[in-house]
Amino acid sequence: MKAVIDIGTNTFHLNIADVLPDGEIVFHYKTYQAVKLGEGGINKGIIALEAYKRGVDTLIKFSEIIAQYPVKQVTAIATSAVRDAINGQNFIAEVFQKTNINIQTISGDTEAELIYQGTKAALNLTNSIFLIMDIGGGSIEFILCNHSQIYWKQSFKLGAARLMDLFMQQNRLIFTDIKAIENYLEKNLSDLIEACKIFKPQVLVGTAGSFETYAEIISVKKEIIFNPDSEKSFEFNTQELQQLLDFFKTSTQQQRLRTPGLIAFRVDMIVVASVITSYILQKLNINKTLLSTYALKEGALLRL
């Protein structure tokens, strides 16, 4: 039995599972905590004091849960918020002292590789070129791939928490804010745009919380059952997805709070994530979008 902890900029995840010889993952326990480790410091290169404490406390709680299972190996992976923070190593040392959990900080490239491995285990990738997009709080990973290989990958410091801090001063966006974010993406995603001109992806695969949220909201609206904890994928209707993105981009906080299927801690982050998603779909003229509920955590389990 193995445990993987994903120490993200917004959310910490704990998965306890077995991996069968055929690569199937059997989960025994899953939980997550909205830690918001990047809050107050993501664009300053520091983990702010309150966020730091929330992070340590959450990992103490995770270590207590792990102790209840016959876990033989624990892997804790830290991404953008820790790897870019000047006090990231202090955080790692304090967690080890209090929990005996040894946190490994991974590069954006390694993060992209693990996301690909997780996605490949969830979806029936084909010979077609897929663009995988993982919107985190601190970074976004893009992977151009098919079922057999990665053709191109890159991690960008354009996560939703970073862009919220830069562009979303109120709890909603106005037209000029949206244009400012789109211009910022245009300026900073030139490598991705050039790579997509070469490889011409036909399908966008979204991973992580934002795409799960889109799927849950659409499922509730259509009165169909979708459970990201037990299902590996979801196929979006392009028009329905775009309508949802357009709503979120200009919505008030009150409108979002009243949206069935939208959990409270994503109420503000989903706005910027929707601007990013809409920009990619329109810029690359992609007409098919899938969700993979497997990503970095599952890729790490498989790598173990």
Query: Is the model's pLDDT at 35 over the cut of 90?
Result: yes
The CA radius of gyration of the chain, in Å to the nearest whole number, is: 18
Residue 23's pLDDT is what? 87
Q: Specify the pTM.
A: 0.95
Residue 10's pLDDT is what? 93
8 A C-beta contact, residue 142 and residue 120: no
Residue 265's pLDDT is what? 87
- Going from the N-terminus, what domains does the chain have, and what CATH number goes with each? 2-105 (3.30.420.40), 109-299 (3.30.420.150)
pLDDT in tens, 108-145: 999 999 999 999 999 989 999 999 999 999 999 999 99
d(CA 69, CA 38): 30
Average pLDDT, the chain: 96
CB neighbourhood size of 111 (10 A): 26
- 156-179 mean pLDDT: 94
